[in-house]
Amino acid sequence: MSTSTRSYLDHAASSPMVPAVAAAMGEVLLLAGNPNSLHQSGRSARRVLAEARESLAADLGAQPDEIVFTSGGTEANNLALLGAPRQGRPLVAISAIEHPSVAEFTARCDAVRVLPVAGDGQLQPGALSELGTDVALVSVMWVNNETGAIQPLGEVVAAAHAVGAWAHSDAVQAFGHLPVNFAESGLDLLSVSAHKLGGPVGVGALVVRRGVKLTPVGFGGGQEAKLRSGTVPVALAHGFAVAARLAVSQRDSEAARLAGLKARLAAGLDQIDRSRLNSAAKSSPAILNATFSGTRADDLLLLLDAAGIDASTGSACTAGLHQPSEVLLAMGRSASDARASLRFSFGWSTTQADIDRLLAVLPGAVAQARKA
């Protein structure tokens, strides 16, 4: 059975663009000029870029000159980890459930300390107590991309600063859904992305606290405070700012609405035998992760796909081959359960009808996948 209208429950992978954002970008896309050029066309582009930077900064609780536009969350995370100097402080501490754009730093640097998480996906109490003055940077994500677990950022920042280290957070899944205020967070570095909140793919930002000096990772024309060379895509930055403004202005009502949908889904999943929620009590309203023991997640995805529902495992694929979720393994789940888990993630376009459609299909799909 294939259907023309689909239920898209994979906003954490990429949220569909809000039509108003596409419209706003359309005008800017036709604008001539490089924002670094001195002529009139360049000035016009620069003005749009400056306004986008100011608007985004305001929505992030940051200063405009703290915003470094990047190609997305991955580049922002890479810049934070690779750019943080480690003279005299060789170590970097990251949580056990980071996105690959942070976690894979272990492949570049053997001085990484991994902070364990508890069974609910939250950083283990006491995980931060062993940080020493040999730590340069502590990186803990704000909201986990697979389970939605909200991490104790206040404790992370306090622990990092207590030993003189910088604190970085990947807030890609938080911004737009939860209150994110850079100044109030005390963070030194913060990563955000546009396409997780209804903006365009291809743009993100690293927020760099004034006084924090990173080493550039690449070289070129010295754009973005000499940290990230390359012509800034003005239309994408503009789209990011417009989408962020929309998301932040509707954040509280949307969060409440999505929390209602999530609760409805959780109640429905509770009726499925041998299912288990992996999303902590303290988690994003936009993400629900659950294990359906005795299934293969990719079989469930096939059955849901055929029923018009787009969902995800949330974890990395190698050539489309489903791997057990590293996040769920870090939370102490068995390999077979980590292979039997799905992520449902919501956003501005998600309706109760989508949840009800999922709940109508899922019990049968789970039963069938258990036999396959």
Q: Token pair of 239, please?
A: 């789209």
Tell me the C-alpha distance between 336 and 318, whole Å.
18
Contact between 141 and 114 (Cβ < 8 Å): no
- Residue 225 CB, shortest distance to other proteins, in Å, is 37
Catalytic residue among 317, 335, 353, 360: 317
Judged by DSSP in three states, 309 sits in strand
Q: Does 305 bind other proteins (CB under 8 A)?
A: yes
* Dist CA 20 CA 35 (whole Å): 24
Q: Which one, 183 or 306, has the nearer CB to other proteins?
A: 306
224 burial type by CB count under 10 A (0-12 exposed, 13-18 middle, 19+ buried): buried
Q: Which one of 120, 155, 298, 326 is in contact with other proteins (CB under 8 A)?
A: 298
Per-position x/- string for 318-337, each x denoting binding to other proteins as judged by CB under 8 A, each - no binding = -xxxx---------------
Instruction: Mark whether 317 is an active-site residue.
Output: yes
Tell me the site size for other proteins, rule CB under 8 A: 16
Q: How far apart are CA 157 and CA 179, in angstroms?
A: 17
Q: Which is nearer to other proteins, 28 or 328 (CB)?
A: 328
Q: Of the candidates 209, 219, 238, 221, which has an alpha carbon nearest to the alpha carbon of residue 137?
A: 209
302 near other proteins, judged by CB under 8 A: yes
Given the rule CB under 8 A, which of 15-23, 133-141, 194-202, 363-371 is the region that contacts other proteins? 363-371
Specify the pairing of strand 321-322 against strand 275-277. Answer: unpaired
Nearest to 74 by CA among 107, 103, 108: 103
- Among candidate residues 248, 123, 270, 252, the one with its CA nearest the CA of residue 198: 248
Return the number of the residue (143 or 301) whose C-beta is nearest other proteins: 301
Which range in 110-118, 212-220, 239-247, 364-372 contacts other proteins by CB under 8 A? 364-372
Residue 163 one-letter amino acid: V
Which residue in 299, 304, 333, 347 binds other proteins (CB under 8 A)?
A: 299
Provide the minimum distance between the beta carbon of 349 and other proteins in the complex, in angstroms, as a whole number.
22
Q: Which is nearer to other proteins, 13 or 118 (CB)?
A: 13
Between 106 and 368, whose beta carbon lies closer to other proteins? Answer: 368
295: left (phi over 0), alpha (psi -120 to 50) or beta: beta
Tell me which residues are annotated as active site.
Answer: 317
Which residues lie near other proteins (CB under 8 A)? 2, 298-299, 301-303, 305-306, 319-322, 368-369, 371-372
